[in-house]
Structure 1
Amino acid sequence: MIKKILIANRGEIAVRIIRACKELGIKSVAVHSNVDSESMHVQMADESICVGPHKAQDSYLNVQALISAFELSGADAIHPGYGFLSENYNFVKILEDHKIKFIGPSSALINKMGDKIQAKKIAKELGLPVIKGSEKGVSEINEAKEIANKIGYPVLIKAAGGGGGKGMKIVEKDSELLENLQIAKNEAKKFFNNDEVFIEKYFKNPRHIEVQILSDGKDNTVHLGERDCTIQRRHQKVIEESPSPVITAKQREDLLNTCVQSISQLGYEGAGTLEFIYEDGEFFFLEMNTRLQVEHPVTEAVTGIDIVKRQIEIASTGKLSLRQEDIIFSGHAIECRINAEDYQKNFQPSAGTVTTYHQPSGLGTRVDGCIFQGGKVQPYYDSLIAKLICHGNNREESIAISKRALDEFVIAGIESTIGLHKKILQHDDFVNSKFDTNWLAKSDILN
């Protein structure tokens, strides 16, 4: 049994995992860079170890330092959170070679599903609907033109090994293809050390819907419903909700059952998310995230199931005790990602000391955060500082609770995106669920 976990992460997700550990009676070890020594996750953990200077590659991405911290602490397992090394095949392979328990899937499965081209092939073999496009990497302009004309413009050039909108370019016609192909390849090389890109059909007005899965890799795979993550900015999610307000009960049942069957065949172990594009009543597989998602709390709100605890259970026992018939869905939940950014100045990151902090509370209100009054927001890492999750009996009530909670939320000393969320939630298009992934960029909210 796992008795001590080293958390190879920082910020709100490290705090989230520490909370789960405390409730399970498991000791937690926080790692931190030199500038994070007074951070909330460090103060909350049972132990803490500095793994390097402020640059992520020298600390949170420093595999040797993390393994040294693991051995020094006497931990039994490593939880990667999300981001950083959570989906890094080489990191997990090294852990396996050193007989270190990784709370997540095997390196082989991470490798399979981490490459988008390979993941698409696997999804097709498993019976998931896939987007039309190239079945391998594309590097030559003539080949790119042939594929683009076959599936029809507009098309999307995507990095095979990436995500988060990097190495991704929309192309409307042949004359724009060469330049964007080169830009996408250069970005892919820069951000993911892999310049392979592929081409697929671009959807102009899609929704982004994903399915949360838990599986023990043996004989038990369950779904925890779907999330609608359509409100986005530059392919980065801003607001997520569960359930999706736009799909029918039959569509939901078919999608969820298909996902469970597919993952069962894959032999997947742990928590995972299957992401889909949804347009004109059809779903198309986008990618699989082999880790905990930022937006997992909305699923926890409507199911009452602690996903992190279930991850630890699977890693510790090799079994998932939860059965599909045990899962009862209740109400509607919305998550607002609060970033330390000035959304009125092109989302410029905002670092500094938090001079005033008051978080909302009340029935149906949850805040997963990592800041406090007097605490510092560092300029070196992701700008996510808190997540506001509000749960109501239905979507209308969930929106009302979210708006009330945002009015209570006070963060001073740095800029935040609280004001942006207030604007979105009171907009008629959001209230009536008439939006797509491009809605925020096209709306008047950012003007």
Structure 2
Amino acid sequence: MLAMSTPRRLLVVDPCDDCHRIFPGLRTIGWAVDSCSLESVSNHTCDVGLFRLQPFHLEHPEAVKDMISRSGTEWIAVLSADVLKLRNVGDFVCEWFFDFHTLPFDVSRVQVTLGRAFGMARLRGHATTADKNTGHELLGQSRVIHDLRKLLGKLAPTESPILIRGESGTGKELVARTLHRESQRNGKPFVAINCGAIPEHLIQSELFGHEKGAFTGAHQRKIGRIETANGGTLFLDEIGDLPLELQANLLRFLQEKHIERVGGSQPIPVDVRVLAATHVDLEAAIVDGRFREDLYYRLNVLQVVTAPLRDRPGDLALLANHFSHLYSLETGRRPRTFSEDALFAMSIHSWPGNIRELANRVRRGLVLAEGRQIGAPDLGLESCLPVIEVSGTLEDYISRAECQALRDVLHRHSDNLSIAAKVLGVSRPTFYRLLHKHQIR
């Protein structure tokens, strides 16, 4: 006995009489059809959506944009002849909908359009599921990220201080938040303070707090960041920028587990786990007399190093798509994919600002892109796809195809050449011979 395939779920929002008339035929070909109002869309799930677009939706589009952005699927607009004539309808539909259909329905065309939308929704859904299945905010499939997640899983349950090292923009605070979330302190506060972003004369008050009247302008008691984090985790970012005097006070707190507010005389016990991060060479700072060696050893009990983005080329597309979805609501535009020239430009860019730079470039691209894809110029990168001469022998074309296949597979599996060879269906020796032949790596 053959198993029944799972029905494809179609949700029709604010259906008209024409919509109701095509429901039986759609159910016959395997669609599970449901309908609801715009206000109750959040209570339904679907594989594809059909939305009857009306003039008042164009006057107040926020609800429609929010529905499409949050649904994670593809939507088809249903337009009457009157709505089709409205001035802004074309731009709005092209921006937010997969396709559109005019009334009255052409049943066969509707079926084809729904099928295409379902296929695209499935492709998008696989990417979304892959991200969610990681169970981590640290996105990526490269070996360095896999090893980092594994290390954090080991370090998180401990109570030891951890020093997080890495270039600016590599996600050191994200690592700290992951350590907190996976620790036994996850129900308690996570308090972050950037030691380089607070004026020097305010740092002591910010960290330790002060009593009323402790200094001019201290009109009331202030609880410091260390005390606020009691029971939880204190994250000291850019610890290398902490003045020497405050380094001594921090060391005293780490040794004695209590603080004194500025202007106070009573010791206050505080239980926190301290995580610190830096992008500077602390060992060199110790030699130069800018960082206390005893504090260094107190903080550097365990250590985590974050990898720069240039060492994670296989994660670029995944991260870029993540930021495209993340910032789509902020920019008021639909999440966009990336053109071939954008992906190539990202792959050869050095990323001095690391993940922070990637996030900012994608945000810029969402604003500037005019089509359905973000191009290299939208990201502020040079469009530089390799130019291939449209001439040559069959052997020339085969050689070019081999070279492109090698570059593509290395872009995805640069950290594991055995997998790269397996994807191409060749042995590892053959794979190395091809790399040598095309002078790659």
Same topology, TM > 0.5 = no
Looking at secondary structure, tell me which structure has more strand per residue: 1
> Normalising by structure 2, what TM-score?
0.24
> Normalising by structure 1, what TM-score?
0.24
